[in-house]
Amino acid sequence: MGEGCAPAPSRVALVTGATSGIGRGLATALGRAGLAVGLLGRDGERLAEALQEVRATGARCAAVPADVVDLPGLQRAVDHLESQLGPADLLVSAAGVIEAVEVPVWEADPAEWRRVVDVDLVGAFHAVRAVVPGMVARGGGRVLHLDSGAGIKDSPVYSAYNAAKAGLFRLGGNLHVAGAAHGISVLELAPGVVRTPMTLAMAAHEQRRQRDQWTSQEEVDALAVAFARGELDAWSGRMVRAGADTPASLAARAAAGLDDDDRTLRLRPWGEDDPLR
């Protein structure tokens, strides 16, 4: 994706967290869109099931069990998938977990808190570390983070998840700034609330379950596929939200011009006289 050139569509995607939920849906959607797809996940049996779904789209695909918390193991899995499918030019970090109970931060279980941050944030860094150096060496690529609006607002519960998602947004911004000169585009995709095993288990979504009000997987897929095709590179370093944004609405907004602060993670000053402006 050289500067001054129309960005080429991505051809080979690697998807973490591909065993279930949104990650599995994204892997299938990218396969249906014509990409080769490498699937990564901890559960070998469910990973094999997800692989069959992607294979049914007609896509070239392969899967390797891997835990994103284990960088050496993840690197071996990435190397194997790239040997089978070719160099990855799209990384989708969808691996994620959330606390089992809703408690304030002072009551959070330390081991569970660390596990959530390890998977949701450190795991995403490990994926960047395993995949992006190859993209840089080849002149470009795309990174899609499955982020969350939970990372940009305060909440009395889910402190580990919220902290990890805020950190993920900052990781994406860092990657955007450092990688732009190397042809790297980064998108923070907030999926809204999709009906998945994780969201169904969350007490916070009890009313949503009763009313059957969910963001559709298809709305998430559409944004991911548009990004893979190079249609949303103008949004690199920024957050988009399924259910509120569409590829068409984002393209129109980008064409009208984006300010530096639009959809980015920033401190909001109190006014023109704020010394932190």
Catalytic residue among 25, 88, 147, 161: 161
The token duo for 18 is: 């591909």
Is residue 95 within 8 Å of residue 23, measured between CB atoms? Answer: yes
Is residue 126 within 8 Å of residue 50, measured between CB atoms? Answer: no
Residue partners of 50: CB distance under 8 A and separation at least 6 = 18, 19, 20, 24, 27, 28, 39, 41, 63
Count of beta carbons in the 10 Å neighbourhood of residue 1: 20
Count of beta carbons in the 10 Å neighbourhood of residue 165: 27
Is 158 tagged catalytic? no
β 184-190/141-146 pair status: parallel
Nearest by Cα to 157 from 111, 215, 205 = 205
CA triple 42-238-274, angle to 5 deg? 125
Is residue 155 within 8 Å of residue 162, measured between CB atoms? Answer: yes
For 89-125, letters b (16+ CB in 10 Å) and e give: bbbbbbbbbbbeeeeeeeebeeeebeebbbbbbbbbb
What does the DSSP assignment read for 95-108? -----SS---GGGS
Percent of residues in the chain assigned helix, strand, coil, to nearest 5: 50, 15, 35
Residues noted as catalytic: 161
